[in-house]
């Protein structure tokens, strides 16, 4: 880890140490960059975009296919080594990529706002894809910046401020964007979202470039090795059969909740709720319920075995999808909306923490960043793919059947977990 001015005092224990860690300039920078990373996520492949498309009258099948633009977030590990290896000729090795990715993202969102899906759907999709690519690239650069800007003692504080900024951005791009769309229209909503990104862009300009003098020596490796060695180590350590089973389990773990994500916005509109209702219940109330679920997950992992929590998380994610039948059978009822969102978000928060702990236990410290990035991408791949086709499923059946099918999709995951049970017990997994 490069030595930086943030690492002059290594005593960060106790309340005074925590305050010093959070008071560093890098912590404020990471809060702003976390805000920048989180803001585009719902705007280019999540519920905000799908709600706009449904509000504009597009078919569910079209909405599902457009969500494939968000695949850039799943595949960002493919070009991450290139960003890690090559520098732009201005501002610095990390700041250059930060500024370029955010500039492209802002320009793309402005173009999306001004064009709209009704004018030229094909051009609209291209712009959404460009914004998703820029957002995924920004995610990659911010992760590298966070790791390199400060010593290990600061990383917990930097991660916490980054996540706080990210969560606030999700509220802004979810709830606030929907409120703005309800009051002033979608063009104004997306233009204001683009303006919000000036905050992290300014932070990138005034932030300090990490000291990369030590890191550059490490990165003088063959580009092929950067892709191949993490795979080789993972398979050699676990064996081919177990490694494939672990990867398949990670990929299917959150399939039930991920496959319904694209259709959530259209489902809420079709159930008779306004954009303001969706903002209040799903993106304000729901976010805090999800945080509570994550907190519960963290406590349970500290008390019980990770194996047991994997079973519990897998089951609750599946069962929570059934709660959406309350909305399907009671359209327009506020109590049904609150009940479904409560069940879904608390289970997602709980399962998210369990999955992070499990994936972290699978990585080798020599390849932590790459292996974890690959696992995280794999954890989103099946759900994103099926989510892109979810519109066809709903049109061929109904919302109710779709949620039942999504709940039953947990069965292969449970079968794999049963096969892994004793093997996980023998491993170093808690």
| Domains, the chain | 15-220 (1.20.1250.20), 221-430 (1.20.1250.20)
| Tokens coding 417 | 């977990």
Cβ(151)–Cβ(211) below 8 Å: no
Cβ(297)–Cβ(354) below 8 Å: yes
418 vs 430: CA distance, rounded Å: 17
The Cα-based distances of 36 to 29, 172, 180, 284, 407 in angstroms read 11, 11, 19, 19, 33
Of residues 153, 168, 157, 209, the one with CA closest to residue 41:
168
User: How many alpha carbons fall within 13 Å on the CB side of residue 280?
Assistant: 9
Distance of CA 83 to the CA centre of its chain: 20
What pTM was computed for the model?
Answer: 0.72
223 vs 32: CA distance, rounded Å: 31
pLDDT for position 218:
43
Q: In 3-state terms, what secondary structure has residue 11? A: coil
Q: Phi and psi for 399 in degrees, rounded to 5?
A: -60, -40
For tokens 């969500």, name the residue. Answer: 67
Of residues 310, 398, 410, the one with CA closest to residue 362:
310
pLDDT in tens, the chain (430 residues): 344 434 444 444 444 544 454 445 567 787 888 899 889 988 997 888 988 998 888 888 888 888 888 788 888 777 777 776 677 777 777 788 889 999 999 999 999 999 999 888 899 999 999 999 999 888 888 877 776 666 555 555 566 677 778 878 888 998 899 999 999 999 999 999 999 999 999 988 877 777 655 444 444 445 566 667 777 788 888 888 888 888 888 888 888 887 887 788 888 988 888 888 888 888 888 888 887 887 788 778 778 877 888 899 999 988 988 999 998 889 889 999 999 999 998 888 888 878 877 876 777 655 655 666 677 777 777 877 787 788 888 888 888 998 999 899 899 999 999 998 887 764 444 4
Query: How many CB atoms within 10 Å of residue 365?
Result: 6
Q: What is the H or E stretch that residue 189 is in?
A: helix 186-196
315 vs 309: CA distance, rounded Å: 10
pLDDT for position 69:
81
């Amino acid at each position: 880890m490069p030595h930086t001015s943030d690492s002059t005092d290594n005593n960060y224990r106790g309340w005074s140490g925590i305050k010093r860690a959070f008071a560093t300039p890098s912590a404020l920078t990471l809060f702003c960059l976390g805000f920048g990373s989180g803001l585009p996520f719902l705007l280019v492949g999540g519920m905000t975009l799908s709600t706009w498309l449904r509000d504009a009258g597009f078919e569910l099948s079209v909405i599902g296919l457009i969500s494939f633009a968000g695949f850039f977030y799943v595949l960002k590990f493919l070009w991450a080594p290139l960003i890690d290896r090559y520098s732009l000729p201005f501002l610095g090795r990390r700041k250059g990529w930060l500024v370029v990715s955010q500039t492209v993202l802002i320009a793309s969102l402005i173009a999306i706002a001004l064009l709209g899906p009704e004018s030229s759907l094909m051009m609209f999709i291209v712009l959404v894809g460009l914004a998703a690519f820029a957002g995924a690239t920004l995610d990659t650069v911010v992760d590298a910046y966070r790791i390199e800007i400060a010593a290990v003692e600061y990383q917990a504080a930097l991660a916490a401020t980054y996540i706080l900024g990210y969560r606030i951005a999700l509220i802004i791009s979810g709830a606030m964007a929907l409120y703005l769309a309800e009051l002033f229209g979608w063009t104004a909503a997306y233009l204001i979202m683009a303006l919000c990104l000036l905050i992290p862009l300014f932070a990138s300009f005034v932030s300090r470039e990490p000291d990369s003098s030590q890191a550059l020596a490490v990165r003088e490796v063959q580009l092929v090795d950067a892709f191949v060695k993490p795979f080789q180590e993972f398979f050699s350590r676990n064996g081919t059969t177990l490694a494939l089973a672990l990867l398949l389990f990670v990929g299917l773990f959150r399939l039930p909740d991920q496959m319904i994500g694209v259709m959530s916005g259209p489902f809420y509109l079709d159930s008779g709720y306004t954009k303001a209702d969706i903002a209040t219940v799903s993106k304000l109330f729901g976010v805090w319920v999800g945080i509570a679920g994550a907190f519960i997950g963290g406590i349970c992992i500290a008390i019980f075995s990770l194996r047991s929590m994997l079973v519990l998380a897998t089951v609750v994610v599946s069962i929570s999808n059934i709660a959406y039948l309350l909305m399907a059978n009671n359209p327009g009822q506020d109590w049904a909306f609150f009940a479904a969102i409560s069940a879904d978000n608390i289970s997602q928060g709980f399962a998210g923490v369990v999955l992070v702990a499990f994936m972290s236990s699978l990585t080798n410290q020599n390849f932590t960043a790459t292996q974890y990035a690959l696992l995280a991408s794999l954890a989103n791949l099946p759900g994103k793919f099926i989510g892109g086709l979810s519109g066809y499923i709903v049109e061929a059946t109904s919302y109710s059947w779709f949620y039942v099918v999504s709940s039953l999709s947990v069965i292969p995951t449970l079968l794999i977990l049963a096969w892994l049970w004793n093997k996980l017990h023998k491993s170093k997994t808690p």
